Amino acid sequence: TADGGRAGAGLVGVFAALVLVKFALIDRLPNPLRRPGLDQRVLPLSGALGQQPLAVDFAGGVRLHGFDLSTTRLPADGAVEVAWYVSRWQASEARYWPAFRIEDAAGLAWHDPEYLPPRWHREPPATSLWPLDQYAQWARRVALLPGTPPGAYTLMGEVFDLDTLRISSALDAAGSAAAPRLTLGTLTVERPRQPWRLGPDGSGQNLGAVTLLGASVVPAAASAGDTVLLTLDWRSVARAASDDLAHLSLTAAGENRPALALDLPPVSGYGLSQWQPGDEWRGQHWLRLPATLASGTYSLALNLPGLENTAQAAELQVTAPARVFTAPDRAVPVGASFADVGVLTGYTAVASANTLTVTLVWQATATPATAYHVFVHLSDDTGRVWAQSDGTPAGWSRPTTGWIAGEYILDDHPLALPGDLPAGAYSLRVGLYDPRSGQRVPAAGPGAGDSDQVEIGRWRP
């Protein structure tokens, strides 16, 4: 009909207008529907970038100018979109990439690791191709894990090398590594729009007002003194009158007496009295294994106050590390002490074409409650760090929480030497720090300085 023809022509006209708007505006200008891979505006800018301007440099030459957050309050089955405005202040062939975390107060991750850029975002090219006078935008849509309970969480951001997977630390004013991650803000998480479904109906082990749907320990094979992640999935059956704690026991196969017993909330920060019948929640807990555990298979069991039945949660294979109580030979003596951890008795340094391997010799004086990281810095007389190694002692295999007083630990640290390292004398400096807070362990004795790091010797390339 004539009316139908006019309607069809009208729709064609509207479509043509939308296409014109897309090519004339959306594809040419920055806007919420389309972001450029690289903005053509020349740096430095006269104004700020992002809702929350920042000025942070990262090792390797990435600079953060500011960031946007789509929200700071979201349902537990929602997501937050975070966008960084970044540029390069130093040319490099390395390819850098952003990563984001949603953590609770204990440092446990509550984000879905399979996050992607939002649909509106246009990913920039590899950082090695960025001109130094333009900026780009990294954007990601980060969702929460199924079962995440309501509460306050921290959004963290970091930069890492895509090829080596090493984190590029944020730098302080002197150009030294200050922190591996940045705190971007607090997220307030509310109840999900639809209740979580973590297990099929009728499944699980009954523990009165709640049912244990499932449990896991990661890793399932660990060493004495390691910290493992315990995950518990729960279903609320009835209203609970109080915030009872679950009793956990770790028992070796063939034994009756637990090697470890402790009480913990089924879900940290969200007590049983707040659950509604039919709710399903995930609990996550760090579980530090005693340093004195013998090798063997251990079972984890849970129960609640006033109940006779116990839920079998998971099995864990534990290996006791080989311990050495005799000092090794041929180490350069040091003798510096680190409070309530150990003494750095000596070290060796062996250089190859592009690597300096520093082996530290520790003697434990205690079993710390914190798994400290060790850093080794190769720095010049101005304090510039030319090479460094950070991490759990002995290639991540001997956390300080597994040390026993009197034993010796050999701790290798390969330092990758840059090709443009000038000739001259360099200092080797060593320290211990809490990887979560960044707080260093107090150092005293030979070589100890005001910043709780110890100069163990000098080295010439």
Name the residue among 346, 415, 423 with its Cα closest to residue 385: 415
Q: What is the pLDDT along the chain (461 residues), one digit of tens a residue?
A: 444 444 444 544 544 444 444 434 433 334 433 444 666 556 666 567 888 999 999 988 999 999 999 999 999 999 999 999 999 998 889 999 999 999 999 999 999 999 999 999 999 999 999 999 889 999 999 999 999 999 999 999 999 999 988 888 888 887 777 778 899 999 999 999 999 999 998 889 999 999 999 999 999 999 999 999 999 999 999 999 999 999 999 999 999 999 999 999 999 999 999 999 999 999 999 999 999 999 999 999 999 998 888 999 999 999 999 999 999 988 899 999 999 999 999 999 999 889 999 999 999 999 999 999 999 999 999 888 899 998 999 999 999 999 999 999 999 999 999 888 999 999 999 999 998 888 999 999 999 988 899 999 999 99
Distance of alpha carbon 173 from the chain centroid: 24
- Rounded Cα gap, residues 425 and 459, in angstroms: 6
Question: Exposed/middle/buried for 416, CB within 10 Å: 0-12, 13-18, 19+?
Answer: middle
Q: What is the pLDDT of residue 21?
A: 42
Give the C-alpha separation, 125 to 100, whole Å: 19
pLDDT at 64: 95
Query: What is the model's pLDDT at position 450?
Result: 85
DSSP codes joined into one string, 400-423: GGG--TT-EEEEEEEEEPPTTPPS
Contact of 322 with 410, CB cutoff 8 Å? no
pLDDT at 45: 60
Backbone phi, psi, residue 94, to 5°: -65, 150
Determine the pLDDT at residue 37. Answer: 60
216/230 Cα distance (integer angstroms): 6
pLDDT at 27: 37
Tokens standing for residue 31: 């806007």
Q: What are phi and psi of 303, to 5 degrees?
A: -150, 170
What does the pLDDT read at residue 373?
A: 96
C-alpha 392/C-alpha 25 separation (Å) is 52
The predicted structure's pLDDT at residue 23: 39
Sign for the CA dihedral angle at 7, 11, 13, 17 comes to positive
Predicted pLDDT at 116: 95
Amino acid at position 160, single letter? F
Q: Which amino acid is at 221?
A: A
